[in-house]
Structure 1
Amino acid sequence: MTPTRDTVRLIATDMDRTLLSGEPRSISARTRTALDAAAAAGIRVLAVSGRQPYSQATFVQGTALAGLGIGCNGAVVADLGSGEILSQEILEPDAQTALTFGLRNVFPHVKVASFRNGGNTVRAQFGYLEAVAGNQAPWPPDQREAPLDEVLRVGSVKLVAKVAGVPVDEVYAAAVELAVPGCQPTMSGASWIEVARAGVTKASALARVAANWGIDAAAVVAVGDNVNDVEMLRWAGCGVAVANATPEALAAADVVTVSNEQDAVARLIEDILAA
């Protein structure tokens, strides 16, 4: 059942493979119009992504999503217009070090990168930086390669780990099996796993933001496609998976809609406003 404009107060959407479409990826004109229409109807819209705020801002400028946003899988809340970091959750150095060396025992060639300072500072192990370079952000990050001990020395809002030639789901399974205290590994559909502080998810940040706005979970619609969206889809009053979602996201959702390439978020908003 599609929620109605009388029952929905907040629409929270993932970005990659959910909101963004086309190549290069962007927010379509139809989706921009729908986001504006939702905001005009008094429904808040919120970008909730594994991306860092500087990367989110690259896409949302000039849209109704350019205000408050949740990045780094819930570890960072920021103003996507100004770049101000409003809150951040830190993965402790001891925890990220234990996970990294645990993964190295399984995958000796694993490479990691640490995102700090709300995601605006990146310290990548030698040989990894190409995975995070080249973003045309409105405020560019401070990023450089560094020795592993420097990468792990300072806590992260997000630690990413990648093993060349190994499917990301195998790396994720190994990280989960390690069960390192203090760590919350997940996947977003990229070729690397992403690790936050234990208990930090898109759902935990969304619940906090919604509460600050006086909005109950029952009045929230969340849209996503991947493992890192599962908790958010379960928490929201209505969890919506796009047709191209992973099995985990599809199982967590209340509703399945069309794919991101068919303007899933726009269609959802149009249906809500029409209901």
Structure 2
Amino acid sequence: MSFGGAGGSVWLMPLRLIASDLDGTLLRDDLSVSPRTRRALDAARAAGIHVVPVTARQPVGVRRIAQGAGFDGWALCSNGALGIHLTTGEVLFERHLAPEMQRALAEAIRQQVPGTVFASIREAGEGFYAQGEYADLASETDHKRDPATMGRYSLDEVLSAPSLKFVLRHPEVSPPELLVAVRALGLTGFHATHSGAAFVEVAAEGITKAAGLALLCENLGVAQADTLAFGDAPNDAEMLAWAGRGVAMGNAHPEARAAADEVTLSNEEDGVAVVIERALAGLG
């Protein structure tokens, strides 16, 4: 398989599934899908290729842009912890972080970084249970939902049930700094990452976008080698490394770039569309 940059080689192996991150990747900075990108996605679907959003967002956040992108099938949400069909609502899989792991992490990080606050995402991504202090810090752009819909719960209530995604944030400590602190705790049993948003995202051990994509591909009968993936953030790195061809955006974080096979143009320059167009030309 080979797919190069400008004037380079073309796709020489079957392409059956395109997996794309949304924010900073498929979407422009104003959260829209460009006409060129929409045409490329439609052309891929017309060629019989699965086109799947793979995102840290929940279904409510994916549905906000689904019409513009033409998404009406499977989506991978919560960084790969949830596989859900956007039209039927069928849940293919859910992978949860256990309450005892959440509590151990919360107690440990609060000792190391006092003032850290938490939220729990549950119920196929529809339930959002935030500490009151978390909701006070949040804006609608953070989780693609009105903070008034997050609830205002005690820490015990937030920790009381399994989470698809367990979220940590701090009013002063940046997400990359908070992630370093989480990883320095020496705890196991979870996977922590960040997506460029204002918080750290924690899932069950082994749950990444790559793991979720592997489960979906198994269900669809798609080989790993026949996948093309796009991403820009640290939470995309595992997926870019796993896919048959991983493509980082021109605006990508160094972790995503290091994991990818190649780098395309930025999300503002239709980088996803450029690669899809060349791939389809090679298949033709």
Report if aligned partners of 2:135, 2:148 keep a CA contact under 8 Å in 1.
no
**Structure 2 letter corresponding to 1:28:** S
1:150-189 alignment runs, 5 A limit? 150-189=157-196
Displacement of 1:101 after TM fit? 1.3
Deviation, 1:132, is: 6.0
Q: Is residue 26 of structure 1 aligned with residue 38 of structure 2? A: no
Rate the CA distance shift 1:90–1:57 in 2: closer, same or farther, 3 A: same
Q: Which runs of 4+ in 1 moved over 6 A?
A: 134-137
List alignment gaps of at least 5 residues for structure 1. none
1:204 equivalenced with 2:211 (yes/no): yes
In the TM superposition, residue 6 of structure 1 has moved relative to its aligned partner by 5.4
Identity of matched residues, %: 43
Letter in 2 for 1:247: P
Match of 2:257 among 222, 233, 250: 250
Give CA deviations for 1:101-140 in whole Å, capped at 9, x if unaligned.
1111111111110000011001101121252647777xx9
Partner of 1:271: 278
3-state SS of the aligned residue for 1:170? helix
Conserved? CA contact 2:13–2:226, under 8 Å = no
Q: Does 1:224 align with 2:234?
A: no
Q: Is the 8 A contact 1:69 1:80 kept in 2?
A: yes
* 2:45 corresponds to: 39
The AA in structure 1 aligned to 2:191 is Q
Matches within 5 A, 1:6-21: 7-21=14-28
Q: Tell me, yes or no, if structure 1 residue 121 matches structure 2 residue 95.
A: no
SS of 1:146's equivalent in the other structure is: coil
Listed one character per residue, the Cα deviations across residues 58-106 of structure 1 (whole Å, up to 9, x for unaligned) are 1112543221000000100111234443321010000011111111111
Higher mean C-alpha displacement, 7-16 vs 140-149: 140-149
Query: Alpha-carbon deviations, 1:4-33, whole Å to 9, x = none?
Result: 28521111000110011032x111121111
CA distance in 2, matches of 1:221, 1:215: 11
* Deviation for aligned residue 1:43: 1.2
| Superposed counterparts of 1:84-103, under 5 Å | 84-103=90-109
What does residue range 128-147 of structure 1 map to in structure 2 within 5 Å? 128-130=134-136, 131=138, 133=140, 143-147=150-154
**CA RMSD for the aligned pairs?**
1.9
Question: Partner amino acid for 2:275?
Answer: L
Do residues 67 (structure 1) and 73 (structure 2) align? yes
Match of 2:85 among 42, 65, 79: 79
* Secondary structure of 1:51 counterpart: coil
Give the stretch that moved more between structures: 39-48 or 53-62.
53-62
Q: TM-score, normalised by structure 2?
A: 0.90
Q: Which residue of 1 aligns with 2:266?
A: 259
1:190 is matched with which residue? 197
TM-score, length basis structure 1: 0.93
Q: Distance in 2 between matches of 1:207 and 1:221?
A: 12
Aligned residues: 272
Residues 216, 179 of structure 1: alpha-carbon distance in 2 compared, 3 angstrom cutoff: farther
Secondary structure, aligned partner of 1:101:
helix
Residues 121 and 142, structure 1, Cα contact 8 Å, conserved in 2: no
Contact in 2 for aligned 1:54/1:80 (Cα 8 Å) = no
Structure 2 unaligned regions, length at least 5: 4-9
